[in-house]
């Protein structure tokens, strides 16, 4: 009887120690799950509306941009039938109106940030392709030196096209303004001379902080677009969403983010324009 009581006492004494590995594993699993949930919570949800937060405006460079150009009626596809211009030549980039002097004079800055070496530029081209002669893109550095110039193929239909800066241009310097021009030369009527419409603006490369880089590494492409937007990195947000939209044209969540991003900078009328490869 005494021997049985001793064995029972030893068994009861060791039970808490036997449970310790199980409790430790449970606590570790719980901590790991909480860490994952906290990390997920720090990223924007794919169902949330995308929000663009413009960065502080750049200093007045004495050369305000122009993101929208009124297209000649005869050159716009379909205008002969409905006698209206559906949308003009337009650069997909924010514009900011700034006060310049104490007498309430203002200037319009057309510009955006990028974090990439070779950014991609987006433009809405509404013209009847049979009436377009040339499309040209020009990029200048802060010393007004042309570092890139190219003629682009005329799109077969009206829509939004892009210009990818090639690696041959080299990396854009950080914190330096670059001036771009997008020019369309067209002949609206056979008995008229060619006309030139153009838009112009600025781009500046910025350095991402380590915290944002870490969040981008954990994020999905759609979440990355939202992160770029909420941190004022316009060109990266727009390009990420455009590439997603091209790859998944039926995805309604991506389409909504695209519309919301354009609406944030007053370009909601371009939300339904087709993206051309």
The strand pairing partners of 61, in sequence order, are: none
The answer to whether 37 and 213 have CB atoms below 8 angstroms apart is no
pLDDT band at 32; cut points 50, 70, 90: very low
In this structure, is residue 63 part of a structural domain? no
Question: Does 25 have pLDDT greater than 50?
Answer: no
> Residue 143 domain-assigned?
yes
d(CA 183, CA 152) in angstroms, rounded, equals 10
**For the chain, first and last CA: distance in Å?**
88
pLDDT of residue 64: 72
pLDDT, mean of residues 200-227: 96
The answer to whether 199 touches 182, Cβ cutoff 8 Å, is yes
Domains of the chain: total: 1
Percent over 90 (pLDDT), the chain: 62
For residue 16, count CB atoms less than 10 angstroms from its CB and return exposed for 0-12, middle for 13-18, buried for 19 or more.
exposed
Backbone angles phi, psi at 69, to 5 degrees: -125, 130
pTM of the model: 0.79
User: How confident is the model at residue 240, as a pLDDT?
Assistant: 98
- Tell me the average pLDDT of the chain: 81
Tell me: pLDDT of 199 over 70. yes
**Beta strand segments in 115-264, E:** 120-125, 132-140, 146-152, 159-164, 177-186, 195-205
178 lies in some domain: yes
Residue 25 forms part of a structural domain = no
CATH number, domain containing residue 106 = 2.60.40.1930
Is 56 part of a structural domain of the chain?
A: no
Q: What pLDDT, on a 0 to 100 scale, did the predictor assign at position 48?
A: 54
Average pLDDT over residues 228-243: 98
Pick from 100, 92, 90: nearest CA to 57: 100
Is 55 part of any domain? no
Question: Is 266 a domain residue?
Answer: yes
User: Tens digit of pLDDT for each residue in 112-165?
Assistant: 999 999 999 999 999 999 999 999 999 999 999 999 999 999 999 999 999 999
**Could you report the per-residue pLDDT of 48-86, keeping only the tens digit for each?**
579 999 998 877 666 678 999 655 555 776 543 443 445
DSSP result, 86-148: S--EEE-S-EEEEE-STT--EEEEEEEEE-SSS-EEEEEE-B-GGGEEEEEEEEE-TTS-EEE
Q: Judge whether 145 lies within some domain.
A: yes
Domain that holds residue 156: 68-270
């Amino acid at each position: 009887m005494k021997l049985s009581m001793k064995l029972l006492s030893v068994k009861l004494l060791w039970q808490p120690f036997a449970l310790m590995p199980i409790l430790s594993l449970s606590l570790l699993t719980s901590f790991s799950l909480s860490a994952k949930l906290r990390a997920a919570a720090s990223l924007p949800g794919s169902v949330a509306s995308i929000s663009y937060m413009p960065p502080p405006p750049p200093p007045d460079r004495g050369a305000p941009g122009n993101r929208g150009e009124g297209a000649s009626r005869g050159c716009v596809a379909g205008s002969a039938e409905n006698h209206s211009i559906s949308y003009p030549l337009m650069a997909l980039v924010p514009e900011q109106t700034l006060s310049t002097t104490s007498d309430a004079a203002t200037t319009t800055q057309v510009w955006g940030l990028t974090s990439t070496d070779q950014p991609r530029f987006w433009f809405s081209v509404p013209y009847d392709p049979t009436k377009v002669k040339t499309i040209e893109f020009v990029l200048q550095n802060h010393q007004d030196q042309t570092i890139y110039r190219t003629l682009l193929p005329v799109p077969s239909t009206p829509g939004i096209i892009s210009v990818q800066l090639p690696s041959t241009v080299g990396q854009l310097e950080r914190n330096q303004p670059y001036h771009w021009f997008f020019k369309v030369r067209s002949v609206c009527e056979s008995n008229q001379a060619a006309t030139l419409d153009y838009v112009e603006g600025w781009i500046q490369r910025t350095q991402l902080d380590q915290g944002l880089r870490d969040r981008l590494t954990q994020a999905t492409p759609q979440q990355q677009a939202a992160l770029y937007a909420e941190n004022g990195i316009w060109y990266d947000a727009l390009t990420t969403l455009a590439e997603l939209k091209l790859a998944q044209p039926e995805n309604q969540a991506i389409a909504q983010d695209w519309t919301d991003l354009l609406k944030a900078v007053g370009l909601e009328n371009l939300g339904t324009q087709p993206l051309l490869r």
